Amino acid sequence: MTGTDSTHSPVPFPGRRDPRTPAHTHASGHAPASGHAPAVRCGIVPPYLLARLATVDDPRFSGAAEAARRSLRVDDPIRSLRSAAPHATALPVPPAAVPGVTRRTISDAQHLQTLPGRVVRTEGQPPAADVAVNEAYTGLGDTHQLFWSRYQRDSIDGRGLPLDATVHYGQSYDNAFWDGERMVFGDGDGEVFNRFTISLSVIAHELTHGVTQYSANLVYQGQSGALNESVSDVFGALVEQYALGQDTAAASWLIGAGLFTDEVQGQALRSMKAPGTAYNDDVLGTDPQPDSMDGYVDTEDDYGGVHLNSGIPNRAFYLVADALGGNAWDAPGQIWYDTLTGPDLTATATFAVFARATETAAVTRYGRGSLEHEAVRTGWDGVGIALDPLRAAS
């Protein structure tokens, strides 16, 4: 994309938490009830990228710039903290629920910002005439399929929760998000961003925020927030690879491939294999993700750099998968899933705590000194997080 601005991507203000508001409180100032967490709109497009696009002064991309400004207003960090009652981390299963059976409902917001919108397709109904409806429906099913068939997790909550999504949200809305209850997809501006149902990794990424909500419940701030984002990238990539039948070597390891229009010089929003290389565009700038702790970004923006520093654990996972070869949804995905749902993570886990928990998970399932155990250690070492030897159980 040729434009008038050739500087690199900045990390501006969107996503900065008001320092007067503790990380565990709602915008109203009230702390969440015990066992609950505020549901942040976890959007797939980083706020720094939208802020960059919002400042573009080029008549060819005026529509994209205005769409980015509208999207940032929708995604304002204060208003994106839901003021409604927080969600429990476990919901009762309706009596009719059958384990492992997908129950999808797709709604159409009709370009309004009112949810859920008009129901347009439910489980078992034939494809609609609307491609976004069908992409959302299929993407929900593909995500459910991986978690159920490989990890025996029944839907997002592990208890058969119905999967709901809304398409055509807002006017040229440049994002997709999980709001604590449902997936929501914008149509993009058509100049820089395509429709957000076009990428399976995006759909699976956002749904995995729901899995995290119902398991480790990682706080969306700082390193725990970057882990929250990374876990979503990991399983977003795995859902796509599983659906396509791709092994580690054949996979692209891109998150959001297809989201950019042909006007953009870039492949995707992020690369797990090579963080910092997903795009290099004279208008959007250069992908700013670090690939190791040497490049760690210390910032208050973007909830403490959650979309930036997630590149570090992303690459660690890729290195584990690359070391083991074969299908990444097998041992690497199992280790990450065991870690996410196991007892060793707190909601405020750091990279080091998460790394140690993955090592423990690998040893528990595959044995001390196993190929899987050594691959985990090598993967984290490759991003600058060295793990001291585990002490033998007494």
Residue 219 has pLDDT above 80, yes or no: yes
Given 205, 307, 359, 373, the catalytic residue: 307
Residue 159 has pLDDT above 60, yes or no: yes
The answer, yes or no, to whether the previous bond of 46 is cis (omega within 30 of 0) is no
Given 135, 191, 206, 240, the catalytic residue: 206
Residue 7 has pLDDT above 70, yes or no: no
Torsion angles phi and psi, residue 170, rounded to 5: 70, 180
Q: Is 229 a catalytic residue?
A: no
Q: Is 206 a catalytic residue?
A: yes
pLDDT tens string 232-253: 999 999 999 999 999 999 999 9
Beta partners for 42? 178
Interval 359-385 mean pLDDT? 98
Average pLDDT, the chain: 86
Least confidently predicted of 87-96, 294-303, 379-388: 87-96
pLDDT tier for residue 115 given thresholds of 50, 70 and 90: very high
Residue 20 has pLDDT above 70, yes or no: no
pLDDT tier for residue 317 given thresholds of 50, 70 and 90: very high
Going along the chain from its start, the domains and CATH numbers come out as: 217-381 (1.10.390.10)
Interval 368-383 mean pLDDT? 98
